[in-house]
Every structure is written in structure tokens, then in C-alpha cells.
């Protein structure tokens, strides 16, 4: 049993291990090639987050999904590069919106340079992804375009907030489905589709990716509260400081509505205050870390990861399926 991939994924089959490792290495080369420019400064900015590393969760999913067809098909690695480039581009833009200082353990592009450079670099990465995508055929272009629309819609929904009368948790799940689930669903879809897998398999892996993506983001919500910067690669409590209500905060507000406990109300009031003040932010983070709302958010993560696991039931038993199941466990472990 060998450990590969972003979460210490254990692979029992040597052929599968070799395929995944070779695929991820080829993706890494593809990312560096795709982020080169004739302008040295653009290359430096575009490769800033590529060279910072990362989990490469989406390319890994592409490689595993490809095992249900021909894992050596020519479109697999380029499609994984497209998905990861798109993801990286959104990180540049997210850091501008969040005014983040750190990403993947290094200064964010907006803090190293400025917001304009970060936004334009994200746009550059989108352009390079589109260039690669054009060679993968019109169906791939359509799939990516639909996912990108959902991704942007999810971001806008988060910014706008729930409409009057809408349950905030239901609204937030729509946000996560768009912001995170849509692109991870594409990773599963591209891997299966490019490998020539049956359409039923393509559909299963698309649904799996969507649900796993939501679980993945819920785990990130927990990590943003519970971890230190060394563990998460970014400043803890970033969303709290920006006033973005993630699942632990939403679960706290639910509890306030249901029970009306004084200590819950006090914490909710603190979270609603100006958390740009470092002392107030530190207090809010410390209190939320030991609050039952954080445990509820962990249970939400487990539920969505189990939904993703159940989606895999129609697939044939094989080492690739076992690895996909283990990814569900790994996401839950991150939130633990």
C-alpha cells in the first residue's frame, strides 16, 4: 500500500499508483507550461500560486475518474490542467475580494503586488485554460462554460446573501454547489469523459464530484475556524474577519433562533461586530472553536461526504473506486 496524492491517499494497486503519479507529474509540467508568458513579470505572477504547491485535489480526481475508461487517453492530462488553472484563477480573484494576505503559506498575489495585478493574473489563467480547452472539443467547452457560470453565480449569491424568507443554510448550500461543487464535478466528468467511459459512469462521477466538492468546502469552513495558519496555509478566521457567514456561523445563528441562550446571543453579536479589530477577532475565533456550532458543521461535512460515497455504489468494485471512497474519508478527516 503506497501513499500518493494530496491527502495521503493509500493506493493498493501498483499500476493505479503509477498511473496517478505519472498523471499528476504531467499535470504539474502542464501547469508550468501554461503559465509561461513572453513577459517575465506575467510568468512570475501566473506561476506564483502554481509554485506554492497545493493539494491538486481536482487533478487527482481527474486521474482516478479516468481509470473507468482508458487512463492513457490523450485528453486526460490537458483536461486536468484546465480544471486546475480555472481553480487557481478563482483563488487570485477570491483573495482580492477577501483582502487576504496569505494563500498556500505564501503572500497572496494581491498583497505581494496589488489588486489589479491579482485580478489580471486570474484573467490570464482563465485565458490559458480556454486555449487548452479549445483543443478538447465542443462538448468539453460546453461543460466548462456551464460550470464556470455556476461558479460565478455561486460567488454572486454569496455576495448578495439569501433573499427574504429563504433559509440561510439552504442558500449557503446553493452557494457551495456553485462555488466549489461545480468545478470538482467537472474534474470527475472530464476524467471519465476523456477516458471514453460509459455515459452512466460519467454521470455517477459527475454527481460524486459535486457532492464531494460541497463536503470539501464544508471541511474548509471548519478548518478556517479550527486550524492554525501552518495547517491551513492561510490566515485563520479570514471569512469571520470579512463578515462572510460560513457553516459554523450559520449553525450558531440557527441555535440562537431555536434556543435563545444568552451565551449564544452574545457570541452571535460579537461575530456581527467589526472583526477587523485584532483583539475582537481573536476572541470570536477562540469562542467559536469551542462552541457546539462548530461540531454541527463537522457533522454537516460528514453527511455530505457520506452522500458522495453512496453515489459511487453503481460503479464496479476496483482499486480506483476504493480510492474514491477513501477520498471521502480524507475530506472528513480534514474537518476532524
**Mean of the per-residue pLDDT values of the chain:** 87
Q: Which residue has the higher pLDDT, 56 or 97?
A: 56
Dump pLDDT digits (tens) for 59-85: 999 999 999 999 999 999 999 999 999
What is the rounded CA–CA span in Å between residue 336 and residue 333? 5
Residues 44, 46, 52, 53: what is their CA dihedral angle, to the nearest 10 degrees?
Answer: -140
Neighbours of 262 (CB within 10 A): 7
Backbone angles phi, psi at 101, to 5 degrees: -100, -25
pLDDT at 285 over 70: yes
Mean pLDDT score, 252-260: 93
Which CA distances in Å does 234 have to 22, 52, 220? 29, 12, 11
Dump pLDDT digits (tens) for 15-28: 888 889 999 999 99
- Which among 203, 200, 186, 221 is positioned nearest to 304, based on CA atoms? 221
pLDDT at 12 over 90: no
What's the pTM value of the predicted model, to 2 decimals? 0.88
Residue 228 near residue 236, CB atoms below 8 Å: yes
Dump pLDDT digits (tens) for 299-317: 999 999 999 999 999 999 9
Mean pLDDT score, 287-300: 95
In 15-100, where do the E strands start and end? none
pLDDT tier, 103 (very low <50, low <70, confident <90, very high otherwise): low
Domains of the chain, each with CATH number or no CATH: 13-335 (1.10.600.10)
Amino acid at each position: 500500500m503506497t501513499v500518493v496524492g494530496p491527502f495521503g491517499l493509500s493506493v493498493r494497486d501498483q499500476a493505479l499508483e503509477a498511473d496517478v503519479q505519472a498523471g499528476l507529474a504531467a499535470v504539474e509540467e502542464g501547469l508550468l507550461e501554461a503559465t509561461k508568458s513572453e513577459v517575465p513579470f506575467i510568468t512570475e505572477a501566473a506561476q506564483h500560486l502554481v509554485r506554492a504547491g497545493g493539494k491538486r485535489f481536482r487533478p487527482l480526481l481527474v486521474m482516478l475518474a479516468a481509470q473507468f475508461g482508458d487512463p492513457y487517453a490523450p485528453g486526460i492530462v490537458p483536461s486536468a490542467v484546465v480544471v486546475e488553472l480555472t481553480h487557481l484563477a478563482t483563488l487570485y480573484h477570491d483573495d482580492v475580494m477577501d483582502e487576504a494576505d496569505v494563500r498556500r503559506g505564501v503572500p497572496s498575489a494581491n498583497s505581494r503586488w496589488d489588486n489589479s495585478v491579482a485580478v489580471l493574473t486570474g484573467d490570464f489563467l482563465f485565458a490559458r485554460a480556454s486555449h487548452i480547452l479549445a483543443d478538447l472539443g465542443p462538448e468539453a467547452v460546453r461543460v466548462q462554460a456551464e460550470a464556470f457560470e455556476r461558479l460565478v453565480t455561486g460567488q454572486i449569491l454569496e455576495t448578495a446573501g439569501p433573499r427574504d424568507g429563504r433559509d440561510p443554510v439552504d442558500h449557503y448550500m446553493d452557494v457551495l454547489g456553485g462555488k466549489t461543487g461545480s468545478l470538482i464535478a467537472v474534474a470527475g466528468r472530464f476524467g471519465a469523459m476523456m477516458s471514453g467511459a460509459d455515459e452512466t459512469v460519467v454521470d455517477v462521477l459527475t454527481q460524486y464530484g459535486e457532492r464531494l466538492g460541497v463536503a470539501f468546502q464544508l471541511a474548509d469552513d471548519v478548518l478556517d475556524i479550527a486550524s492554525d495558519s501552518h495547517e491551513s496555509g492561510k490566515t485563520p478566521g479570514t471569512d469571520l474577519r470579512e463578515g462572510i457567514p460560513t457553516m459554523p456561523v450559520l449553525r450558531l445563528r440557527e441555535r440562537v433562533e431555536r434556543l435563545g441562550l444568552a451565551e449564544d446571543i452574545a457570541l452571535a453579536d460579537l461575530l456581527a461586530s467589526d472583526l477587523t479589530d485584532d483583539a475582537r477577532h481573536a476572541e470570536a475565533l477562540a469562542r467559536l472553536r469551542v462552541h457546539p456550532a462548530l461540531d454541527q458543521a463537522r457533522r454537516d461535512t460528514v453527511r455530505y461526504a457520506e452522500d458522495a460515497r453512496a453515489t459511487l455504489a453503481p460503479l464496479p468494485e476496483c482499486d480506483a473506486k476504493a480510492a474514491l471512497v477513501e477520498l471521502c474519508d480524507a475530506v472528513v478527516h480534514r474537518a476532524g
